[in-house]
């Protein structure tokens, strides 16, 4: 009973970690995509 509870907690913890990691990767890729777009949209701002 307690063992199963600990296993479920570790699974939840792992899934939360995976979700945070994937969100970080998505954010990073979006910033990479948005960076040249912002340069092309505002060429005179530099």
**Total number of domains in the chain:** 1
Residue 4 vs residues 9, 10, 14, 29: alpha-carbon distances, Å: 9, 10, 15, 37
pLDDT per residue as tens, the chain (46 positions): 778 888 899 999 999 999 999 999 988 888 877 776 666 665 555 4
What does the pLDDT read at residue 38? 63
| Domain hosting residue 13, numbered range | 1-46
What does the pLDDT read at residue 45? 52
What does the pLDDT read at residue 27? 86
What does the pLDDT read at residue 23? 92
Shortest CA distance to 18 belongs to which of 10, 6, 29?
A: 10
- How far apart are the C-alpha atoms of 38 and 3, rounded to whole Å? 52
Reported pTM: 0.51
Gyration radius (Cα) of the chain, Å: 20
């Amino acid at each position: 009973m307690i063992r199963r509870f600990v296993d479920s907690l570790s699974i939840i913890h792992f899934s939360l970690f995976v979700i945070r990691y994937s969100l970080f990767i998505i954010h990073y890729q979006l910033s990479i995509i948005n960076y040249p777009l912002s340069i092309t949209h505002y060429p005179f701002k530099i």
